[in-house]
Amino acid sequence: MILLNATLAEPQHFSIAEKLLLVALVVVSGAGFWRRFGAVLDKIFKSKKDASFHLFPIGKRTWDFVWEVVCQAKVIRQRPLAGLAHAFVFWGFCAFALVTLNHFAVGLGIGFLDPNGWFGRLYFYLAAVFALACAAGILGLFIRRFLVRPKWLSQKLSWESGFIALLIFLLMATYLAAFFVADTDPAARILWWAHTLAILTFLPIIPHTKHLHLVLSPATIFLSRGGFSQIPPLVGDEDFGLIAGTDLTQLVSLQAYSCVECGRCTEHCPAANTGKVLNPKEIILGLRDYLNELGPASEEPLLGKYNAPEAPFQCTTCGACEFQCPVGVEHLPILVGLRRGAVNTGAWENDYGSKLFLALERGSNSLGMAASERDKFIEKAGLPNFDGTQVYCLWLGCMGGYDPKGREIVADFARVMKYLGASFGVLRKEKCTGDPVRRLGNDLLFQQLAEENLKSLAENKVKKIVTICPHCVRTIQEDWKEFGTPPEVEHHSEFLARFADKLPKQASEEKIVYHDPCYLGRYRNVYQEPRAIVELAGELVEAPRNRERSFCCGAGGGLAFLGEETGERVSHVRAAELVATGAKTVGTACPFCNSMFRDALAEKGDSAPQLLDIARLTARGLPENGTS
Ligand code: SF4
Ligand code: SF4
């Protein structure tokens, strides 16, 4: 009968020959590890320095590290079952760090954890609990990868992953089995050597495979740019974006080597899910292949052999990829960087893109309309001029100033502001914030628009902006910082939610499905405020993909202006999902989403749900004259 020992069994003595063999094996294994890992580090360190990188504030970095690496929070939150299995393996490795050090020390006769002392006994039992969890976790991951086989993991079976899973399982099994033998039993020695060989086989495999993330991803998460979709400024006259290997920065190279190929980014990508060429995982792996084959000193273009030139331009900048990535890969600076490179070298030729750039160079708005059209709308809607005395500057944005449906949103929001007695006005002249050109990689034009707007806002003494467009909010608050200090800015959902108790609650059971716009949700973390407003107008219904998992409408990243898409239309896929909820109304909080769904829902004819922005939903509950 096999009995559980009071503690872990370790062989008592090792012969000189065994010790020499152990040292030789450790040296060979370590050399195998370093041969590849040293080369990877060399490529990362020889990449261009990140000019805008700074380590401070260190508190946020430490918190992200503890939350995402130590607690594995992101991994678990996004895929709870697989995430937990992964976390068990990770925590098992952490607990085994001390056990492993002691294991090799025992082989050399200098073991420092006494299995019969109170601490050693306690620690070995604790490690046994982690070993059980780790073995269960790796078994679960193995079953998922080889039997369940989700489609976003590569369809090719990865035997390397299977082998590594086997090694990890063997490590845990040999450790646990040592609790069931006596230390004088020859089986203890066999288990000890089996455990040793499993470790020494595992070590050199790490840097040769995607398991490199075990070593790199803690650093990648700690050193990340520290904010969502942080597009670094171009530096000096020679920086035109990501064109060749010489433009890859240390952070980009570190991230490329950290990718664990989990496919979470691709699973959530609206482009990859609607038949486009763009696949965010392949973008990152393409950069890794480039670094492996050509290195960071190469002048060969990044787009071409390693990534399709059209791929970055199919990105809606929805940010689902970056939000999901568990190892800190920041896709958006990379995708926008590749666009910058293609735009600045003239490699990107697109009639719609040229038309947009021209419209913004010559005029004031991305819709290419005469500024007088905005004046006419302001007059017709009776919007007061901003004269420096009001609290809020109501920023119209291109969609609010020129798009007929966007104007309806602005007009209704202004009615609500008047009803609430808020003091506001609109600027006589306003230019596009530069959002589409910023995301499309035309920095020169973006800078011009940002500077002109900042100057005009300062001249008009604007202190607070409120707007119906989350793209304007993001661009004003974050992107303009590169060129000055923007005024405070908020989205109308935040404004409305603040006054929710003063707004009428409509006696309606109408089901309203709310669509989270990417630039309000993932970019600004605003989820509850628009929901609070929807609940005043009817019964809130959730789409299957909601909040931070919301599926894009297809308009972002300048794509609203780039004409027909290839493959299925992103807006149609999302609209179908919203319609399938059975809600009578689709509630939006972004004029771009509104415009995309308007076209997609038009196809449904009379059976289509109505489409209303939260400002319109609120305004319809106001007393007839719209004033208090
Ligand atoms: S930002 Fe959105 S569209 Fe672009 S690659 Fe990432 S998930 Fe895909
Ligand atoms: S980039 Fe991140 S999310 Fe995408 S496959 Fe790599 S590790 Fe996974």
Q: DSSP 3-state assignment of 305?
A: coil
Q: How many CB atoms lie within 10 A of CB 112?
A: 10
Please tell me the pTM assigned to this model.
0.93
For the range 77-86, what are the long-range contacts, defined as Cβ-Cβ under 8 Å and sequence gap of 24 or more?
78/264, 78/324, 78/326, 79/264, 81/140, 82/140, 82/141, 82/144, 84/137, 85/136, 85/137, 85/138, 85/140, 85/141, 85/144, 86/137, 86/141
- The phi-psi region of residue 427 (left if phi > 0; otherwise alpha if psi is between -120 and 50; otherwise beta) is beta
- Among 381, 387, 385, residue whose Cα is nearest residue 400: 381
Contact residues for 289 (Cβ-Cβ < 8 A; gap 6+): 306
> Quick check: CB of 320 below 6 Å from ligand 1?
yes
> Quick check: CB of 319 below 6 Å from ligand 1?
yes
Task: Enter the DSSP assignment of 518.
Answer: T
Q: What is the pLDDT of residue 56?
A: 87
Rounded CA separation 592/520 (Å): 12
Contact residues for 72 (Cβ-Cβ < 8 A; gap 6+): 83, 86, 87, 90, 91
Could you tell me the maximum CA-CA distance found in the chain, to the nearest angstrom?
96
Q: How many CB atoms lie within 10 A of CB 379?
A: 9
Compute the mean pLDDT over every residue in the chain, rounded to the nearest whole number: 95
Degrees, nearest 5: CA angle 249-296-206? 90
- The phi-psi region of residue 488 (left if phi > 0; otherwise alpha if psi is between -120 and 50; otherwise beta) is beta
Rounded CA separation 331/229 (Å): 8
Q: Which of 324, 331, 566 to mutate to test the pocket of ligand 1 (most atoms within 8 A of CB)?
A: 331
- Ligand 2, atom 3, residue with closest C-alpha: 325
Tell me how far the alpha carbon of residue 414 lies from the centroid of ligand 2, in angstroms. 43
Rounded CA separation 276/362 (Å): 32
Strands 539-542 and 488-491: unpaired
Contact 175, 128 (CB under 8 A): yes
Torsion 402-408-411-412 (CA) sign: negative
CA 250 to chain centre: 19
Rounded CA separation 615/603 (Å): 25
Contact residues for 158 (Cβ-Cβ < 8 A; gap 6+): 145
Rounded CA separation 619/628 (Å): 13
Q: What is the pLDDT of residue 227?
A: 87
Q: List the beta bridge partners of residue 426.
A: 385
Q: What is the pLDDT of residue 151?
A: 73
From residue 598, give the alpha-carbon distance in Å to each of 160, 482, 542, 602, 611: 48, 35, 19, 6, 7
From residue 452, give the alpha-carbon distance in Å to each of 373, 446, 458, 523: 20, 10, 10, 24
Please give the full DSSP string across 527-559, using - where no structure is assigned.
-HHHHHHHHHHSEEEE-SS-GGGPPP-S-TTTG
> Quick check: CB of 265 below 6 Å from ligand 2?
yes
Q: Which two tokens stand for residue 590?
A: 């972004």
> Quick check: CB of 270 below 6 Å from ligand 1?
yes
Contact 255, 225 (CB under 8 A): no
Q: Which atom of ligand 1 is nearest to the CA of 280?
A: 5
Tell me how far the alpha carbon of residue 506 lies from the centroid of ligand 1, in angstroms. 37
Q: Which two tokens stand for residue 20?
A: 């020499």
Contact 540, 584 (CB under 8 A): no
Ligand nearest to the CA of 86: 2
Tell me how far the alpha carbon of residue 281 lies from the centroid of ligand 2, in angstroms. 6
Phi, psi of 117 (to 5 degrees): -80, 165
Within the chain, which residues score under 50 in pLDDT?
A: 625-628
- Ligand 1, atom 2, residue with closest C-alpha: 318
* 456-471 pLDDT tens trace: 999 999 999 999 999 9
Q: Which of 229, 259, 268, 269 to mutate to test the pocket of ligand 1 (most atoms within 8 A of CB)?
A: 269
Q: Which of 268, 282, 284, 318 to mutate to test the pocket of ligand 1 (most atoms within 8 A of CB)?
A: 318
- Ligand 1, atom 7, residue with closest C-alpha: 269
- Ligand 2, atom 8, residue with closest C-alpha: 262
